[in-house]
Amino acid sequence: MNKSRLEAFSDGVFAVAITLLALDLAVKGPDSPHPLAWQLGHAWPSYVAYLISFLTIGIIWVNHHATMNNVRVVNRTLLYLNLVLLAVVVAIPFATSTMAEYLSKDNYSARVAAALYASVFEAMGLAFALLFEWILRHDNALHDPMPAAVKNRARLRFYGGQILYVIAIAVAFLNAQVAVGLCAVTAFYYLFERSGPVPGLDDG
């Protein structure tokens, strides 16, 4: 199967998802009873949600690019696993806008919104884990297989980040803002984690 079609389709989905994040940065404008400066300041949850989600999707795209760059042979299983990941990626803008709407509140709905946000990121991590396991189990389909001696260490370091999302889901029902902060911390973890699902990523 042609790997370039998988990459082109995936890049298009990532581009749409990351673009949709900006739609929630709008303010009401002159029709609002409040001045523009107040509107901009009052929209801080949208800025926070945008930055975390943009960073997270960007990291997913970088890791996905590196992973697919290392793949030599594409089969139907990999195509379907990739679709699972993309299905979650396109849900991130929905979770982001929902969280932004409630983040400044201090009520049960705000905590549910934060739990939803962290849950979508956890689902994204699990979907990427499926791709990761496919990579680890199909050395013959790769240009540069990961040495057997380091595969389990790579699993531990990758899945370690997923624990943070699980903690964020639980914390969300106590404090929404702390849970969102944990999602940001997890994004930075994967930003610097280089032994995870990116065996084709060079250090240049």
Could you report the average pLDDT of every consecutive run of 10 residues in the chain (204 residues)? 86 94 73 68 80 93 88 91 96 93 88 96 94 88 83 85 93 94 92 56 40
Residue 134 CA, distance from chain mean position: 19
Tell me the C-alpha distance between 131 and 137, whole Å.
10
Tell me the C-alpha distance between 65 and 180, whole Å.
26
Residue 34 confidence (pLDDT): 64
Q: Running DSSP on this structure, what letter comes out for residue 142? A: B
Task: Give the total residue count for the chain.
Answer: 204
Tell me the C-alpha distance between 134 and 141, whole Å.
10
Residue 143 confidence (pLDDT): 86
Tell me the C-alpha distance between 197 and 204, whole Å.
17
The pTM score is 0.84
- Local structure of 193: helix, strand or coil: coil
Residue 202 confidence (pLDDT): 42
